[in-house]
Amino acid sequence: MTPAFVARAAVVLVAGLLPGAVFAAPATPPGSAAAPLRSVTFQIEFTSKTEERVQTSGIQGHDSMTGGGAGAAGGGSWRTLPATSGAAKGTITVDVIAVTGDGLVVDIAETADQRNAPKTRIGISTKGRLVYDVAKATVNEEEIMLLQLLNRALVEGHDNDGVTWTDDLSVHGFKDVTTYRILSSTDVKPGPVLHMELERSVSASAGHPFEMTATGKFDYNEQRAIPLDVTLRERRTSVVASGRQQQVDAVYTYKLVADSLSRT
């Protein structure tokens, strides 16, 4: 695993570690699948900036970037490497294959500049957990962030203006907590549309130290259970190797551009 991949892998593990047997659907897309129950397409934009620091001298111990952990620095000299940036535009398509008592089974695929991801079958529980084979699947960060907003029970019991609630998805040494807040709503048909914001915090205590924070605002159609416009800002900090720290700042924007349900 390359250093640049460690931060991404940590987020994937938090999202994916749940027994796949919860969902009664094939683990991979069949060769000749029936038409999906629903198909939605989002236009997406992604930008990122990655900065790394390497320790050139001193005693290793405390992580000045993430707040603690083995393999980081407790002093000495550091050298900041030239920052790298990335950007992509494209689409993400999600096909709903099945609706179960536990959530949804979907196929997701991304077509974007240098960030294509093949169709992958994933379960989305009503608690927001994602269920898939993390060892075999290729799922980009922007797909994971979107899928957790497709939880069909996202606002269930929390549909009043001013309401705040927290979803705790902590598992296997990872703390993963998201707070949602409904700022206001607009009466439209079908609707209403909820104007919402979120704050997410993820941290790991085992292995390479890792922290991720995300904030964002989005419009959500309650009747159709779908986000319409989303902007998320994310920061990931990690110790990717002994004496090597990485910080990634990313911005994701999504816009719903097609929904087969809107034609019914």
Q: What is the pLDDT of residues 152-197, one digit of tens each?
A: 999 998 878 899 999 998 887 889 999 999 999 999 888 799 999 9
Q: Is the pTM for the entire model greater than 0.85?
A: no
The mean of the pLDDT values for the chain is 82
Predicted pLDDT of residue 249: 96
- Pick the closest to residue 222 from 184, 252, 254, 166 (CA basis): 184
- Pick the closest to residue 28 from 104, 148, 123, 149 (CA basis): 123
**Alpha-carbon dihedral of residues 156, 92, 120, 179, nearest 10 degrees?**
-30
Q: What is the mean pLDDT of residues 124-146?
A: 91
59 vs 23 pLDDT, higher one: 59
Residue 64: left if φ>0, alpha if ψ -120 to 50, beta else—which one?
alpha
CA–CA dist 262, 40 (Å, integer): 10
Residue 94 has pLDDT above 60, yes or no: yes
Percent of the chain with pLDDT over 90: 55
